[in-house]
Amino acid sequence: MISTNDVRPGMALDLDDGIFQIVEYQHVKPGKGKAFVRMKLKNVESGTVLDRTFRADENVQQAIIDRRSHQFLYQDDMGFHFMDGETFAQIPLGVDEVGDASSFLREGDSVDLAMYEGRAIGINLPTSVALEVTEAEPGVKGDRVAGATKPVTVETGLVVQVPLFVEQGDRIKVDTRNGGYMTRIS
């Protein structure tokens, strides 16, 4: 248990609704009445964000989240399979547990799995990944409007809007936070 006066952004709490990470924290002392703590909390498993208010000095359960590096092995009808680099134990995760991260996973890539009480509750991807363009239509000659883009498909099946000069076979850097094009890699 930890007091709401001692919590800080980045900590994780085990509440009745699930496991939440503190995004924002504000201690409020009004002119009249008792002090309270207002927090913006993000559900670690589902990603939903909610605002919650607690009394000052209220005790809440702190959740200790262990982040370990795992290697993505393969995907099959049971889900996505990861291997711990230290113990070589394999962990299967369902499609709903992996979520949007599946668009950026390639076999052999390393990711950090957030573990709570021995079970995986989330995936932390790097900020950007390098992916190869597998399908790209050629840019139309004369269609060189400043900032013009075209859709391409990368090796994971993700469709990304890129500048007209990107061609099939090129490697591009993709932002994992929004799925946007960052740069072409030579």
Region 152-160: mean pLDDT is 89
Q: Are residues 135 and 177 in the same domain?
A: yes
What's residue 80's pLDDT? 87
pLDDT at 131 over 80: yes
pLDDT band per the 50, 70, 90 thresholds, residue 143? low
68-76: Cβ within 8 A, 24+ apart: 68/112, 68/113, 68/115, 69/110, 69/111, 69/112, 70/110, 70/111, 70/112, 70/113, 71/108, 71/109, 71/110, 72/105, 72/106, 72/107, 72/108, 72/109, 72/110, 72/111, 73/107, 74/107, 75/102, 75/105
- If we measure between CA atoms, which residue out of 180, 134, 138, 141 comes closest to residue 161? 180
Mean pLDDT rounded to a whole number for the chain: 84
CATH number of the domain bearing residue 154 = 2.40.50.140
Q: Are residues 109 and 70 in the same domain?
A: yes
Q: Are residues 119 and 137 in the same domain?
A: no
Residue 56 is which amino acid? A
DSSP code at position 140 = P
Half-sphere exposure of 31 (CA within 13 A, CB side): 0
pLDDT per position as a tens digit, 58-75: 888 888 888 888 898 988
pLDDT band per the 50, 70, 90 thresholds, residue 172? very high
pLDDT at 41 over 80: yes
Residue 50 is which amino acid? L
What's residue 176's pLDDT? 86
- Answer whether 127's CB lies under 8 Å from 117's CB: no
**Based on the structure, what is the number of domains in the chain?**
3
What's residue 146's pLDDT? 63
Structural domain of 39: 2-63
Region 75-97: mean pLDDT is 85
Taking the model in full, what pTM does it have?
Answer: 0.66
Region 9-17: mean pLDDT is 84
84-92: Cβ within 8 A, 24+ apart: 85/110, 91/120
The residue out of 17, 48, 63 marking a domain boundary is 63
What's residue 104's pLDDT? 87
What's residue 141's pLDDT? 62
